[in-house]
Amino acid sequence: MSQPLFIGNEIYRHSSLGGKHPLSIPRVSTVMDLCRTLGWVEAANYAESRPATPAELTRYHAPDYVAAVQRAERVLAIPEDESVRYNLGRGGNPIYGTMFRRPATGVGASLMAARRLLAEPGIIYSPGGGTHHGRRAQASGFCYFNDAVVAILALLDGGLERVAYVDLDVHHGDGVEEAFRDDPRVLFISVHEAGRWPRSGAAEDHGLGNLFNFPVPPGMNDTEMAHLVGEAIVPLVAGFRPEALLIQCGADALAEDPLAKQQLSNRALWDAVAALKGLAPRLLVTGGGGYNPWSVARCWSGIWAGLSGQEIPDRLPAAAESLLRSLSWNHSTGRNPPESWFTTLTDPPRPGALRDEVRALAAHAKSVGAKSIGI
């Protein structure tokens, strides 16, 4: 692949989960617009995704579940028994007008990426992906389908024998772990806030030796993320020698996110991606969680800059600043956002103490990895 590829779709501009849902904010469309305004996305390095078909979705998801999501989108209603069975219309997974097409488009993008990477190694970015909670026959955590699982299956079906998945979202990547915990071809790594929904991902759970969870305490800072990445995650991935690597870059561990209690700057995620991106010839980076429209847009645009070799300006040009000023957010923090959210992409660093709990997580993972992977 001659240059990194950005995959997007206009559906994210017009689709909303409605009302006060955390995902009612603009996210992917803002990243697309901001990167274009900065001259980082052009026709040569952009591809429009298409929705995954039911047949493609049922490589992992149950056919009756896929049909139920399609039907609920069409009639904007669901019988009570199906609502309970499939967790649709409840638990943060509303019935809305693009509830099949929108998540199917995210899967389609990750599937497109997997197929292109099989044909030619390289780097692909899909900020609309990262729906890591989706279960085989249930919606979960705002995720109706699981794009990472479908993409990893496509890579394995295409003949790869070692695929690594690193999840940086503040929530445990439970749907991906569930799909591959018994598959030694997949290395699963998740950094997530301990005790936060879905309250899974214990450090002691290693599956067949292919699972490594880092349930960090609230308040994680840049120093602690750098320690986990440098001391444990990079050695684990490098030791596994993956033929492909997927990185889920949820922005909800950033300090400004309303749904978590971590204290990362966006630099921490950028540095993590930079440290990992050279460890496999095929790289797919996705979005994920993130519920502050400014922190998501600034973080994910910066990730693309790092992947595509762009220089981030100290101060954004007027057109990019105007775009960020046009955003609104129905949240107390959104009523008086700081000027830096409009004028810069880069957060000030947020270093801090390296707590014993974090040191212990890294040491434990390295100890297990030395036996199961040979790091």
The residues annotated with a catalytic role in the active site are 133
Using CA atoms, how far apart are residues 223 and 353, in angstroms rounded to an integer?
Answer: 7
Q: How many CB atoms lie within 10 A of CB 326?
A: 11
pLDDT at 1 over 80: no
Q: Where are the alpha helices (DSSP H) in the chain?
A: 11-14, 28-37, 54-57, 63-75, 80-86, 101-119, 147-157, 174-180, 222-228, 234-240, 266-276, 293-308, 318-325, 340-343, 356-372
Domain boundaries, the chain: 5-372
Q: What is the pLDDT of residue 89?
A: 97
Q: Do the beta carbons of residue 214 and residue 231 sit within 8 Å?
A: no
Using CA atoms, how far apart are residues 121 and 43, in angstroms rounded to an integer?
Answer: 20
Q: Do the beta carbons of residue 241 and residue 283 sit within 8 Å?
A: no
pLDDT at 31 over 80: yes
Q: What is the pLDDT of residue 16?
A: 80
Q: To the nearest whole number, what is the mean pLDDT of the chain?
A: 96
- Calculate what percentage of the chain has a pLDDT beyond 90: 94
- Calculate what percentage of the chain has a pLDDT beyond 70: 100
Q: What is the pLDDT of residue 149?
A: 98
Average pLDDT of the residues in 332-338: 85
Q: In this predicted model, what pLDDT tens digit does every residue of 87-136 receive, in sequence order?
A: 999 999 999 999 999 999 999 999 999 999 999 999 999 999 999 999 99
Beta strands 186-193 and 163-167: pairing type?
Answer: parallel
Using CA atoms, how far apart are residues 341 and 354, in angstroms rounded to an integer?
Answer: 27
Q: Does this model's pTM top 0.75?
A: yes
Q: What is the pLDDT of residue 2?
A: 82
- 336 pLDDT tier (thresholds 50, 70, 90): confident
Q: What is the pLDDT of residue 332?
A: 81
Q: Do the beta carbons of residue 4 and residue 308 sit within 8 Å?
A: yes
Residue 333 vs residues 19, 293, 336: alpha-carbon distances, Å: 18, 11, 6
Fold category of 5-372 in CATH? Arginase; Chain A (3.40.800)
Q: What is the pLDDT of residue 42?
A: 95
Q: What is the pLDDT of residue 133?
A: 98
Using CA atoms, how far apart are residues 251 and 293, in angstroms rounded to an integer?
Answer: 10
Q: What is the pLDDT of residue 17?
A: 84
Q: In this predicted model, what pLDDT tens digit does every residue of 143-166 receive, in sequence order?
A: 999 999 999 999 999 999 999 999
Describe the strand order of the beta sheet including 122-126 as a list of residue ranges.
46-48, 5-8, 122-126, 282-286, 244-248, 163-167, 186-193, 211-216
Q: What is the pLDDT of residue 64?
A: 98
Q: Which residue has the tokens 């429209």?
A: 293
Q: In this predicted model, what pLDDT tens digit does every residue of 289-319 receive, in sequence order?
A: 999 999 999 999 999 999 999 999 999 999 9
